[in-house]
Amino acid sequence: MEYNIVNYAEENMDTFAQRAFCPVDSLILSWLSYLRIPGDAPEFRDWEGLPLSSLYRAEWFDKLFLGVWDPESSRRLLTALAASPRFRNLRVMGYTEQMDPEAEKQFSAVTFRLTEELSYVAFRGTDASFVGWKEDFNMAFQTVPSQETAVAYLARAALYCPGRLMTGGHSKGGNLAVYAAACCDEAVQGRILRIYSHDGPGFLAEMLTSPGFQAIADRVEKTLPQSSVVGMLLEDQESFQLVKSGRVSFWQHDPFSWQVEGDRFCPADHLTADAHYLDKTLNDWVRGLAQEERERFVDALYGILNVNEVTTFAQWQDQWQKNLSDTMKAASQMDPDTRKFLGHTLKELAALSVKHFPELWAKEEKEKKEP
């Protein structure tokens, strides 16, 4: 059996005063940010908060686990955390959730008080909403609303949490954590011990060369599964560490698939051939588009997918035949210039895919021969 974050939570009993915080703890707290805390629990929204064990209420389960990765493993993990002396007394505070389709914004964050002098600010990754994914795509050409909101949230958490800070997240949440730490004021920045990005997308080049990022670069700990797709997106990357996953390709984004050994992730030696292939293909394609072309492409694609007032992928799948038909109809009704542009841009992606395929084949053959 592969040992993952659930097994770690079930078996590790030391408190944070007894054993130091580690990256596996960070992934667990990042996962907790995906929980949808019901509105009838305002104590989690203020800055006094409640113990983590207070989240474990059967009547909340349907709401808590709505849209999370692997609901069954999620419930098992929450059970372990609520019972564990390492996690059960953490104060959960400052929970916020914001959805604004007009601003193309999906944001959520929560803060955990680990000890009197140490707190962890966790940012939620992309959920199953079209708005959330649209905001992710917008990162290819601009700063997005959630990034700015993350800066404000981190500053607010710093007001209420004395001592040192850590911040992190999974997927888009990792990107938000790095962005917030790089763009907050110097006083807050000086209190940050570590920034964790678990398979979070990268940044445009100007971000990684900014003074704010340079000030915190040595405190960023980015972890990627060996076949990472999401974490390798966008033009440039922070330095990163590779971890083993029990799944393949995009499904390695699932945090429950990451393998754990003791209190650390099992390291992987190199990115797989398919990850290199996708990274080079997608990023070369993005680099080949001007900023205006990126924005136009994302808006056009979102426009034909966003049909019948469907707001989530689950809703789209429930009536996929009708929605697919209406999506094709919406594509056919686009103005000729936009339709031509969309088709031409997708052809360029296909051409790059074919161009890079020999590199994929050669790398796979090399990996087969390696011991």
- Rounded to whole angstroms, the Cα distance separating 278 from 284 reads 10
pLDDT of residue 43: 95
The highest-confidence range among 182-196, 217-231, 247-261, 333-347, by mean pLDDT, is 182-196
What whole-number percentage of the chain has pLDDT above 70?
A: 73
- Rounded to whole angstroms, the Cα distance separating 291 from 94 reads 36
Q: Which residue has the higher pLDDT, 229 or 254?
A: 254
pTM: 0.83
Q: Residue 155 carries which side chain, given as an amino acid letter?
A: A
Nearest to 300 by CA among 335, 344, 332, 342: 342
Tell me the pairing of strands 192-198 and 220-225: parallel
3 by Cβ neighbours in 10 Å (0-12 / 13-18 / 19+) ranks as middle
- Rounded to whole angstroms, the Cα distance separating 88 from 83 reads 6
pLDDT at 342 over 90: no
Tell me the pairing of strands 118-123 and 164-170: parallel
pLDDT at 93 over 80: yes
- Tens digits of per-residue pLDDT, 276-314? 666 677 667 666 777 777 777 666 666 666 665 655 555
pLDDT of residue 107: 92
pLDDT of residue 228: 74
Q: Which residue has the higher pLDDT, 291 or 163?
A: 163
- Rounded to whole angstroms, the Cα distance separating 234 from 282 reads 8
Mean of pLDDT values over 252-265? 92
- Rounded to whole angstroms, the Cα distance separating 257 from 3 reads 9
Tokens 């905001």: give the residue.
Answer: 135
pLDDT of residue 47: 97
- Rounded to whole angstroms, the Cα distance separating 21 from 166 reads 10
- Rounded to whole angstroms, the Cα distance separating 138 from 125 reads 15
pLDDT at 365 over 60: no
